Structure 1
Amino acid sequence: MAGTAPRRPRTKAAAAKPAEPQTASPADIADPVLRQEAKKAAVWIGMAVLVGLAIYQAEALLVIFGGMVFAAMIDGGSRLLGRILPIGRGFRVTIVLLLAVAFLAWVVYFAGSQIAVQAAQLPAVIQVQIGKALAWLAAHGAAVDVQSVQSLVEKLLGSIGQVTSALGGVLGGFTTAFLIGVLGIYFAVEPDLYRRGFAWLLPAGEREHFQHTATVMGKTLRRLLFGRLIGMGVEGVATWIMLGIYGVPMAALLGLLTGLLAFLPNIGAPISGLLMVLVGFSGGTNMGIYCIVVYFVVQTVDGNIIVPMIAKKTADLAPALVMGAQLIMGALFGILGLALADPLVAMIKVMLEHRSKRNEAST
């Protein structure tokens, strides 16, 4: 274009113009030793924050673990069906879920028609029997503060009444149960997806060890829950039949409570036995003695035959350890923590054993 000066070509010196020197940031640490210590401190602070978040969200984490436990039940049922039905895993999981829904519907119907009426009568029957026992002790010279004991009994019966009334209605704990059920279905349908996703968050050297540990933990959890379900079924049905033969009041309710409480080892059996005996003595001394015999027969069969047979193939847990975990979890998280304490202890035990074996192999 006319009137414009020709553009000078850029030289290499102009193209290689040195960049302006960067000034150090106030956050930079010049001393390498101090920088390394700061990184370690950041890691520890991050771990403390994660622990704090885990404690703050402990109930949510417990619901997630409950979903994993429910998924283990579904997966165990699917594997059992796979031995007799040569169909795909998806169909087997669907069959297990349909059977579970059908059983739940039967329990709700049965509870609504029969057990709800019996549940309303149970606290009053127990309170009368405890009053008679206190009067007998006082008549024989025992120094018993009747009023204090009765007030404590009323509080306990209030909680028992809440539990038994929940059997007749499906709204008690519905939200938590619904979340556990949905999570369990998701985990059971695609377990490998979630296992691979969690392993991806770990360092590459830890992934193979995690995969192996997770496989063993799943197998142990399935066997543990299978044993619990077998024990629940045997104790509940046997108690119901034996009490019904003699005509013990509320036999159906006592059988259902015995079966449900059998999921809580070391704690559930004494509670169900106490309720059974108290109701039995409401019908006379002979009926009370018969209930004591029924309790010991059922617990003897379950404790000496069923539990040892299944315990050989499941996690060998110390009874005191399980009871301690149940007391702590029950105090912190209520009935949900009490129910999940046993599986949680079993999973921690498997994890620690595999970590110990790995450390021994590396030394």
Structure 2
Amino acid sequence: MATGAGEGEQPEEALPRRAGPTDIADPLIRHEARKAFVWIGMAALFALGVFLSQSLLVIFGGVVLATLIDGGARVVGRVLPIPRGWRVALVLLTSLLFVFWLGKFAGSQITQQAAELPDTIESQFHRALAWLQRHGMEVRVRDVRSIAQEAMGGISQVTAALGGLFGAVTTLFLILVLGIYMAMEPRLYRRGVGWMLPVDRREHFEATSQVMGRALRRLLLGRVIGMTVEGIFTWFMLQFYGVPMAALLGLITGLLAFLPNIGAPISGAIMILVGFSVSAQMGLYTVFVYVLIHLIDGYLIAPYIARKTVDLPPALVLAAQLVMGVLFGLLGLALADPLVAMIKIWLEREAARNGGQPAADVEKLENA
């Protein structure tokens, strides 16, 4: 009968244990080695995050779009008590019909105005340079263009290096597909992420994700309200006074309203240039319209969004937009505001968990 050990051999458990090449006898050195491996792992994860930053930003764009669709489905659910899948389909169909209407009925007019806009801006640009030269400022067109080309060239090199994997159309398509999938079954993906966490942190993650979703829905709802109000108001005011390209300027103002701090000055500058291209009186009127829109956004829409979501310091949002815009282009610029809001909520939730009491902003969102 075999005993498991040959004659003259000791059983395996009786053999003396010998130190391997990875064994560390000194407890202090072993403790420090573990800490070093933790830091090495964190550095490796950071490097991996930088390498995958463009893809992660596309995924976050899908989350933002899914939240926007989910918010629309919830609004529809208050009016029509139908299953969630049908509500999501209704939101997508309505959005598709709006895009079709915009391209079919308003597309020809906006396309014609868009073709005229560059010439108008360029003519106003030359008039402004001529005015500066008449007042003793030696500014040449060639110098201004070279500075602009160098600035745009530096930005394009960074964005091309980090975002060369996806073109603009491919990125938008991926965000659309991801957003639709996530909007159809948001709990499935939330449970999947929570499953990868330790058991003792899953409940905290679930509560934090719900607070984030609630805040993001309201943030995007405020953005949509602001875009709609500012776009329609701009179109109406400019059309009322007979300003050229009123429909296009209203569309530009509405789209750029999604970018706080940056969108309004850009759309306002374009509007004012178009106004002064006709007459000084019309230019002053466009200045009045811009100031009025800025007052509506600053004293009505922005406080409403801040009350319903997370109040973010404007300087923090602007800094995040500048960094994200340089690194990731227009996509990073558009997603900087929601990303900062989600990071702030996460930090507040972690601080509340460690301190044992809820933060004021988070408690307000949970009780809303």
Alignment check: 8 A CA contact 1:240 1:252 kept: yes
Alignment check: 8 A CA contact 1:199 1:211 kept: yes
Sequence identity (%)? 59
**Match runs of 1:200-349 below 5 Å:** 200-349=195-344
Alignment check: 8 A CA contact 1:131 1:150 kept: no
Matching residue of 2:11? 18
Question: Residues 318 and 110 from structure 1, CA distance in 2 versus in 1: closer, same or farther, beyond 3 angstroms?
Answer: farther
Q: Which has the larger radius of gyration?
A: 1
> What is the rounded CA distance, in whole Å, between the counterparts of 2:236 and 2:2 in structure 1?
101
Give deviations 1:240-260, integer Å, cap 9, x for gaps: 122122222211111111011
Unmatched segments (≥5 aa) in structure 1 = 1-8, 159-171
Matching residue of 2:73? 78
Question: Residues 133 and 287 from structure 1, CA distance in 2 versus in 1: closer, same or farther, beyond 3 angstroms?
Answer: same
Alignment check: 8 A CA contact 2:230 2:254 kept: yes
Q: Shift of the alpha carbon at 1:25?
A: 3.0
Q: Secondary structure at the match of 1:66?
A: helix
Normalising by structure 2, we get a TM-score of 0.86
Matching residue of 1:103? 98
**Match runs of 1:127-166 below 5 Å:** 127-152=122-147
Task: Tell me which of 105, 117, 120 is aligned to 1:122.
Answer: 117
Question: Residues 284 and 277 from structure 1, CA distance in 2 versus in 1: closer, same or farther, beyond 3 angstroms?
Answer: same
Q: Shift of the alpha carbon at 1:55?
A: 0.6
Q: Shift of the alpha carbon at 1:310?
A: 2.8
> What is the rounded CA distance, in whole Å, between the counterparts of 2:272 and 2:147 in structure 1?
19
Matching residue of 1:58? 53
One-letter amino acid of the counterpart of residue 180, structure 1: I
Matching residue of 1:355? 350
> What is the rounded CA distance, in whole Å, between the counterparts of 1:24 and 1:142 in structure 2?
80
- Does residue 37 of structure 1 match 2:32? yes
Unmatched segments (≥5 aa) in structure 2 = 154-166, 358-368
Alignment check: 8 A CA contact 1:66 1:340 kept: yes
Alignment check: 8 A CA contact 1:123 1:157 kept: no
Give deviations 1:4-38, integer Å, cap 9, x for gaps: xxxxx668998997238365432333334333332
Give deviations 1:318-363, integer Å, cap 9, x for gaps: 111100100000011000000000000000111111111112118x
One-letter amino acid of the counterpart of residue 18, structure 1: P
> What is the rounded CA distance, in whole Å, between the counterparts of 1:156 and 1:103 in structure 2?
36
